[in-house]
Amino acid sequence: MSETVGTSPEKSTNQLEVWRQLLEVLQRLDDVWGNTQTAGSHSALSAQLPANLASALAKAAGRGVGTIAGITQVLAHQLDSGDAFRSSALALSNVVDGWPGGH
């Protein structure tokens, strides 16, 4: 898609749909996480995990933190609300950089 010089590019319908899909996935993640909370405490849950599942969860969580950090960066660059997210974006970037085993 070409842009006219001097105008601000508008988000295409496809771009907005991708953001909406991301929002739906995040809501689903929150719902599923809530389901794990009703199943018991954190320590009881972690004691029940087989090593291969714990390892896979650690890797997936690392990728998830990277995703959340990326979303927070986008929010930090929004003109109307960016300042509220700058410190969170920096903190999440540090978490991503320090995630065990990489991300």
pLDDT tens, per residue, the chain with 103 residues:
444 444 445 667 888 999 999 999 999 999 999 988 776 655 555 567 899 999 999 999 999 999 999 999 999 888 777 788 889 999 999 999 999 976 5
Closest CA to 72 of 53, 50, 94, 56: 94
Q: What's the CA gap between 13 and 32, in Å, rounded?
A: 29
Residues 6+ apart with CB under 8 A from 58: 100, 101
Q: What's the CA gap between 101 and 58, in Å, rounded?
A: 9
pTM for the model: 0.74
Q: Exposed/middle/buried for 11, CB within 10 Å: 0-12, 13-18, 19+? A: exposed
